């Protein structure tokens, strides 16, 4: 039954679940206890996640990549549904270890930020913890059924959290839209996953959802044959199903034109949920698209990413331009997420080590940054009761902590050197400039390598980002404070301060010391980049 079991990852996953169960068992009046238990369980998960992050052995990962083998640390591998080829297989590689840490950070800070929720905090915390557990599960899953299981599992607490505690004006619409959008994407991806599963089983005789087995099947060339006998040779499994999987999961990553749910969802969600949502959940989509799409079907990526890169370009530029036009503080951040997540997908689309590593760093950096942004927006909104940018102003005097945190987040967003945004975006642009180096060159970019051009246009997005960030900072935090309109602006609580400092800490740390994460992410990507560039 048990193949290997270190227990750490299962522990991280179960801590919030156990916390949620304990909270549900409390009686109705125990509001404070519920908050404390939630903080404790996310705190324990955070400590464990730090242990996983710092305990990750980059050298071993590189050694495995040199051998052409997949590498997962802290594996928990237990038989689950044997007859279908499903096992409880958790593990972290260089890409997912930072994501696990990100989830733990955002989860812990989310609990602190939500301390003030007074309407049914028990239910809030329980659903929030379930959401965090689901997200952990996706990032840790090596078995792709497990990944899918948790992917779906993280959607429904989201619906609850938005529809019950969200912004009253749009919550019903936004929650339903978000749920349906994401589920449509996920079932399309599921069909693709099943097709890949059966194809791998046919070719190798091992019917399994395990990433390791599917990767082995890919190396053996199982996906390079026509998907069905009646199809022409060119329509291989990889080419046929890659778009379904990549774009299916891409819905959650906010790829244009499937991003429509995301600003509405972010705005309607309560602060902590926006933090998890924009900060972590969107990475779920990008991560799943990478793991199930690019890593399992690199041959498909070679054919399709060269056109998907245009979609991501629209993300970056269009998202930034729309953010520029918003009057609502929270919508600005919502659209900035669309823009920044475009950079992540764009990094994947470079298909070289530099660009993809940048995408991995951007996932972490944007996650923390957006969580910080939404926390700041929430703190302002809770006190001002409006998010209309022109009517706010001078809040730096009243909420200095929030102003400083927001400005640092803004610098990250603009890609200011010394902060994590620069560390993440710079490699993406370098990677774009280089373009995918196929040997032999792919079908599409034989004649003209347009990736450099895309880098130039995408740079517009960065300029616009600077413009809207500075505009928001100027109008919300500086300028004249309207004392008549906002007579009572209370200062933020100690929990809020801890959360803000903690989030900012990671942005600065990664900015000044990128070696903390970059080699790790690189080690996780070497195998897939090698198979994209090396294979015929």
Beta bridge partners of 92: 73
Residue 72 per-residue DSSP state:
-
Could you tell me if 155 and 179 are in contact, meaning their C-beta atoms sit under 8 angstroms apart?
yes
Q: By C-alpha distance, which of 386, 304, 296, 286 is closest to 343?
A: 286
Residue from 58, 183, 219, 508 that binds another protein (CB under 8 A)? 183
From 149-157, 294-302, 322-330, 414-422, span contacting another protein (CB under 8 A): 149-157
From 120-128, 361-369, 425-433, 443-451, span contacting another protein (CB under 8 A): 120-128
Residue from 14, 33, 51, 80 that binds another protein (CB under 8 A)? 80
CA-atom Rg of the chain in angstroms: 22
Residue from 3, 21, 60, 187 that binds another protein (CB under 8 A)? 187
List of residues 6+ apart from 498 with CB closer than 8 A:
112
Residue 491 per-residue DSSP state:
P
Helix runs in 120-255, H state only: 121-140, 144-153, 155-165, 171-204, 211-219, 237-253
- Check binding of 264 to another protein (CB under 8 A): no
Q: How far is the CB of 275 from another protein (least distance, A)?
A: 21
Could you tell me if 237 and 196 are in contact, meaning their C-beta atoms sit under 8 angstroms apart?
yes
Question: What tokens appear for 476 in the block?
Answer: 């919300």
- Check binding of 18 to another protein (CB under 8 A): no
Nearer to another protein by Cβ, of 79 and 515: the residue is 79
Q: How far is the CB of 155 from another protein (least distance, A)?
A: 7
Please state the length of the chain: 536
Could you tell me if 376 and 384 are in contact, meaning their C-beta atoms sit under 8 angstroms apart?
no
- Check binding of 164 to another protein (CB under 8 A): yes
Nearer to another protein by Cβ, of 150 and 486: the residue is 150
Total number of residues that touch another protein (CB under 8 A): 37
Question: What tokens appear for 480 in the block?
Answer: 């004249």
- Check binding of 123 to another protein (CB under 8 A): yes
Residue from 97, 190, 346, 464 that binds another protein (CB under 8 A)? 190
- Check binding of 120 to another protein (CB under 8 A): yes
Residue from 14, 47, 176, 404 that binds another protein (CB under 8 A)? 176
- Check binding of 172 to another protein (CB under 8 A): yes
Q: How far is the CB of 251 from another protein (least distance, A)?
A: 12
Question: What tokens appear for 508 in the block?
Answer: 């600065």
Residue from 63, 180, 206, 483 that binds another protein (CB under 8 A)? 180
- Check binding of 491 to another protein (CB under 8 A): no
Structural element, H or E, at residue 91: strand 86-92
Beta bridge partners of 78: 2, 88
Nearer to another protein by Cβ, of 9 and 532: the residue is 9
- Check binding of 297 to another protein (CB under 8 A): no
Structural element, H or E, at residue 535: none
Residue from 24, 216, 441, 467 that binds another protein (CB under 8 A)? 24
Q: How far is the CB of 206 from another protein (least distance, A)?
A: 14
Q: Give yes or no for a cis peptide into 257 (omega within 30° of 0).
A: yes
- Check binding of 26 to another protein (CB under 8 A): no
From 117-125, 235-243, 263-271, 447-455, span contacting another protein (CB under 8 A): 117-125
Half-sphere exposure for 475 (CA within 13 Å, toward CB) = 18
Residue from 53, 160, 223, 331 that binds another protein (CB under 8 A)? 160
Residue from 61, 195, 389, 396 that binds another protein (CB under 8 A)? 195
Q: How far apart are the C-alpha atoms of 60 and 515, rounded to whole Å?
A: 17
- Check binding of 438 to another protein (CB under 8 A): no
Could you tell me if 363 and 421 are in contact, meaning their C-beta atoms sit under 8 angstroms apart?
no
Q: How far apart are the C-alpha atoms of 288 and 307, rounded to whole Å?
A: 19
> In this structure, is the dihedral angle defined by the CA atoms of residues 511, 459, 472 and 115, taken in order, positive or negative?
negative
Q: 231-238 long-range contacts, Cβ below 8 Å, gap at least 24?
A: 236/299, 236/300, 237/195, 237/196, 237/199, 237/297, 238/297, 238/298, 238/299, 238/300, 238/303
- Check binding of 128 to another protein (CB under 8 A): no
Nearer to another protein by Cβ, of 195 and 245: the residue is 195
From 193-201, 280-288, 316-324, 343-351, span contacting another protein (CB under 8 A): 193-201
- Check binding of 198 to another protein (CB under 8 A): yes
Q: Which residues bind to another protein, rule: CB under 8 A?
A: 24, 28, 79-84, 120, 122-123, 145, 149-150, 152-153, 155-156, 159-160, 163-164, 171-172, 175-176, 179-180, 183-184, 187-188, 190-191, 194-195, 198
């Amino acid at each position: 039954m048990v193949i290997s079991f270190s227990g750490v990852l299962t522990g991280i996953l179960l801590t919030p679940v156990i916390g949620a169960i304990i909270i549900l068992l409390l009686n109705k009046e125990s509001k404070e206890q519920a908050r404390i238990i939630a903080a404790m369980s996310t705190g324990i998960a955070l400590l464990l996640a730090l242990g996983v992050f710092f305990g990750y052995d980059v050298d071993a990962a590189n050694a495995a990549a040199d051998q052409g083998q997949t590498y997962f640390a802290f594996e928990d591998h237990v038989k689950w549904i044997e007859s279908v080829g499903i096992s409880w297989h958790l593990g972290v590689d260089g890409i997912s270890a930072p994501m696990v840490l990100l989830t733990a950070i955002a989860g812990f800070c989310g609990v602190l930020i939500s301390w003030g929720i007074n309407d049914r905090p028990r239910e809030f915390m329980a659903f929030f913890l379930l959401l965090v557990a689901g997200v952990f599960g996706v990032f840790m899953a090596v078995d792709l059924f497990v990944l899918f299981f948790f992917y779906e599992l993280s959607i429904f607490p989201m619906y609850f959290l938005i529809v019950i505690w969200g912004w009253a004006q749009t919550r019903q619409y936004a929650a339903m839209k978000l749920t349906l959008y994401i589920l449509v994407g996920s079932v399309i991806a599921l069909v693709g996953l099943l097709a890949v599963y059966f194809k791998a089983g046919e070719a190798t005789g091992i019917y399994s959802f395990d990433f390791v087995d599917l990767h082995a099947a890919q190396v053996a060339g199982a996906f390079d044959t026509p998907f069905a006998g009646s199809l022409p040779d060119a329509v291989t499994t990889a080419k046929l199903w890659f778009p379904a999987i990549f774009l299916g999961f891409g819905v959650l990553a906010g790829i244009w034109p499937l991003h429509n749910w995301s600003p509405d969802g972010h705005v309607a969600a309560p602060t902590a949920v926006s933090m998890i949502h924009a900060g972590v959940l969107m990475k779920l989509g990008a991560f799943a698209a990478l793991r199930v799409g690019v890593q399992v079907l690199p041959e498909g990526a070679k054919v399709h990413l060269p056109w998907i890169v245009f979609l991501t370009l629209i993300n970056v530029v269009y998202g930034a331009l729309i953010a520029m036009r918003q009057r609502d503080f929270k919508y600005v951040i919502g659209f900035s997420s669309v823009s920044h997540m475009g950079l992540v997908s764009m990094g994947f689309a470079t298909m070289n080590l530099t660009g993809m590593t940048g995408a991995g760093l951007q996932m972490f950096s944007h996650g923390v940054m957006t969580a910080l942004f939404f926390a700041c927006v929430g703190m302002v909104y809770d006190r001002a009761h409006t998010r209309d940018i022109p009517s706010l102003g001078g809040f730096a005097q009243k909420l200095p902590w929030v102003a400083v945190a927001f400005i640092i987040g803004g610098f990250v967003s603009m890609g200011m050197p010394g902060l994590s945004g620069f560390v993440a975006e710079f490699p993406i642009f370098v990677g774009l400039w280089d373009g995918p180096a196929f040997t032999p060159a792919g079908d599409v970019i034989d004649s003209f390598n347009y990736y450099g051009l895309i880098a130039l246009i995408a740079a517009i997005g960065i300029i616009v980002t600077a413009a809207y960030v500075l505009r928001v900072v100027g109008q919300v935090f500086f300028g004249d404070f309207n004392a008549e309109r906002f007579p009572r602006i209370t200062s933020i609580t100690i929990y809020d301060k801890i959360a803000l400092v903690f989030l900012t800490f990671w942005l600065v740390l990664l900015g000044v010391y990128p070696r903390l994460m970059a080699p790790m992410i690189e080690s996780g990507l070497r195998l897939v980049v090698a198979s994209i560039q090396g294979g015929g």
